[in-house]
Structure 1
Amino acid sequence: MTTEFLTPEAMLARLVGFDSVVGRPNAPIVGFVRDWLAGHGVHAHVLPGPEGDRANLFASIGPADRPGYVLSGHLDVVPAGEPGWQGDPFILRDVAGRLIGRGACDMKGFVAAALAMVPELVRMDLQAPIHLALSYDEEAGCRGVPHLLAALPGLCAPPEGAIIGEPSNLTPVLAHKGKAAIRLVAQGVAGHSSRPDLGANAIHAMVPVLSATVAQAEVLRTDAQDARFEPPWSSLQIGRMSGGQALNIIPESAMAEIEARAIAGVDPTAVLAPVIDAARAAGVGVEHLASYPALALDPDHPLAGMIARLAGKTPLGAVSYGTEAGLFQAAGIAAVICGPGEIGRAHKPEEYLTRDELQATCVLIRRLGESQRG
């Protein structure tokens, strides 16, 4: 064991210092967390994913064979190539109480608070466990956490609930939309544009599928509604397109990426069904990129009441962004979102978390620990 202790701010600086961009190997940051926990007598399970170069991490403070609560966060961040940064995005800066760095808000701040509180939680001699579940590639469509959830039955007793620390101003959030995303690829035959009869235009092949997407998006506006969300309907959009080399060359290939955002009770993959059908009819290839379900925690569920007491705030009915919470719920674990910062700061230059927000998160985790002392 070690006598090293880090303030929450110092822990956040360590975590931000790891360039743990989504889709890349994450051994350095996972190794740091593993060693930090080991230094305080907490064994961490490092769970490699099928990619082979990145891993989830799971650890229990207290008796893992009893029901407890999960503090869940992801270690990956989006890239930091935007020109608006005023300094190195992977070196934490404190500017008038704003702790600035890539991932400070989304969501290394929550992870930093949880890790900084580990020595205190260990001293509490918990009678029911607090688990740490740290995932990879959340920013690529929650690709890492399903592997962690699959391993969970062998690591601990079924948890009573999970707190997903995505930015919510430390206001409990009970529901969010689900998401599914696909990539469409059309193949044609290149040639001179003056002889379209000798080629096959890949962009033209894509048009019926894009038209089907727009039509489905309009249908959804008048389909099932849930007033908790903004907008209150499931949505569909074409987010990316590419194709062609020059105006006078028949496009040999074309690509489009499409995402669905589904209200609770609607399968996001089903929202995409008309698009996929149109693609198959047009001979356009379909690649599934990501999918995660919506979250819908009953306001009367004990977890909702507990997190409201810990946070000292009335739960918010729903948000339109997505998290790993829906996957915890699908795995049979009640889940709620409650983390520091505002989602509007995420994925932007000069992303930040305030010092006060970080400290308030430590207070929430301390209260959770005290509730588990028996």
Structure 2
Amino acid sequence: MADRYTPEQMLERLVGFPTVVGQGNGALMEFVRAYLTGHGIPHHLLLGPEGDRYNLLATIGDPLVPGYILSGHVDVVPAAEPEWLADPFTLRRDGDRLIGRGACDMKGYVAAVLAMAPDLAAMPLYAPIHIALSYDEEAGCKGVPHLIAALPDLIAAPLGCFVGEPSNMTPVLAHKGKAALSLTAKGISGHSSRPDLGANAIHALLPVLLAAATQAEVLKSGDTDERFAPPCSSLQIGTVSGGQAVNIIPDHATAQIEARAIAGVDPEALLAPILAACGPSVRAEIISSYPALALAPDAPLAQIAEQISENSPIGAVSYGTEAGLFQKAGIPSVICGPGDISRAHKPEEYLTTQELHAAAQMVLALGRYLSD
């Protein structure tokens, strides 16, 4: 008989795989694959171009009938902070708290979905429920586009997607989009007493950084959407580095810039003034990009999310998710998952048992909704 897991047991297993963003996730995906196989749930393990990371799509019900996706990422941010009180990749309990890297963002939701999968498989679903697991979301949603591209060959066009990022089990209808830019300036090294014999890479980068700072100010008075905080699109210079010593002409300099766009604005378009300011010695590369999410309050998916979560939707959040990419592919999407985003990416990250079971009940509620 196939193994059954409570949501807590499943979360313990998932947290035990240190699937740090940018690294392989094969061991975790093999565990999930074996678990689904044991319960007779068809699935596809999809190798990404990196060669050591997988997406996974499982289908409960008829794949030729339009259904709904339960989507989550299995990568986590690093856990090297000294404030951890124990091994961050060993789930531990402290009262009602389940503590571990990824417990909140977002293996808790994935654990709830997987733990309830056998129950969903026993329901008379008239429309399928798909489980979509992705990699490298924390690097700018780099894994899920490969999964989305594969969907037309695997299943009928989905009716909607529930992305279980931490939202306190409250449906979220919109989020900002994001694009991140990497800049690299090359110069010629030499003694600082003879700048005429070298080329200063930091100086070459300055016009581009000025363009970025100017664009950041321009956006403050640009288009607004009061659902967001702040209500405008934004841009910032996140990192700058270069040079070796004060008396050496720097032969290299780098910077990273990110733009966050309100719904209806292309985040990559916000970077145009910065790209235009790049001279011949500055190389620019967009390293991640995903669009904003915008689901109408009267959309059928919003109404379903309210019914199965038992919470009224809120308009928007400022953080980004994979939901915008599903929406861009023509799949209506909503965010709804356990936990609070304020706990993510911090030492002693946790999810409460109540939150975990609320997510499991939402999954079952979707199954009942599709069995009526």
- Residue correspondence of structure 1 range 135-150 to structure 2 within 5 A: 135-150=134-149
Q: Note if 1:312 corresponds to 2:313.
A: no
CA deviation map 1:257-289 (0-9, x unaligned):
00000000000000000001101x363100110
Alpha-carbon distance in 1 for matches of 2:359, 2:11 = 12
Alpha-carbon distance in 2 for matches of 1:111, 1:373 = 22
> Contact 2:187 / 2:281 at 8 angstroms: preserved in 1?
no
Residue 329 of structure 1 aligns to a residue whose secondary structure is helix
What residue in structure 1 maps to residue 101 of structure 2?
Answer: 102
Q: Note if 1:218 corresponds to 2:212.
A: no
Q: Which runs of 5+ in 1 are unaligned?
A: none
What residue in structure 1 maps to residue 319 of structure 2?
Answer: 321
- Residue correspondence of structure 1 range 120-135 to structure 2 within 5 A: 120-135=119-134
What residue in structure 2 maps to residue 115 of structure 1?
Answer: 114
Aligned-residue identity in percent = 64
Alpha-carbon distance in 1 for matches of 2:89, 2:36 = 23
Code of the residue aligned with 2:209 in structure 1: it is: L
What residue in structure 1 maps to residue 287 of structure 2?
Answer: 289
What residue in structure 2 maps to residue 72 of structure 1?
Answer: 71
CA deviation map 1:301-338 (0-9, x unaligned):
00001100111111010000000000000000000000
What residue in structure 1 maps to residue 203 of structure 2?
Answer: 204
Residue 121 of structure 2 aligns to a residue whose secondary structure is helix
Code of the residue aligned with 2:331 in structure 1: it is: I
Alpha-carbon distance in 1 for matches of 2:302, 2:59 = 22
What residue in structure 1 maps to residue 61 of structure 2?
Answer: 62
> Contact 1:205 / 1:282 at 8 angstroms: preserved in 2?
no
TM-score (norm 1): 0.98
Code of the residue aligned with 1:123 in structure 2: it is: A
Name segments (4+ residues, structure 1) moved above 2 Å: none
- Residue correspondence of structure 1 range 221-370 to structure 2 within 5 A: 221-279=220-278, 281=279, 283-370=281-368
Residue 128 of structure 1 aligns to a residue whose secondary structure is coil
Code of the residue aligned with 1:70 in structure 2: it is: I
Alpha-carbon distance in 2 for matches of 1:223, 1:111 = 38
Code of the residue aligned with 2:310 in structure 1: it is: G
Alpha-carbon distance in 1 for matches of 2:156, 2:235 = 39
Alpha-carbon distance in 2 for matches of 1:363, 1:49 = 32
Q: Note if 1:84 corresponds to 2:77.
A: no
Q: Measure how far apart 1:3 and its partner are.
A: 2.8
Q: Give the RMSD, CA atoms, in angstroms.
A: 0.8
Residue 259 of structure 2 aligns to a residue whose secondary structure is strand
Residue 190 of structure 2 aligns to a residue whose secondary structure is coil
CA deviation map 1:39-73 (0-9, x unaligned):
10012100111111111000101111111110000
What residue in structure 2 maps to residue 163 of structure 1?
Answer: 162
More displaced 10-residue stretch of structure 1: 100-109 or 281-290: 281-290
Q: Measure how far apart 1:247 and its partner are.
A: 1.2
TM-score (norm 2): 0.99
> Contact 1:85 / 1:350 at 8 angstroms: preserved in 2?
yes
Alpha-carbon distance in 2 for matches of 1:353, 1:322 = 20
Alpha-carbon distance in 2 for matches of 1:125, 1:134 = 24
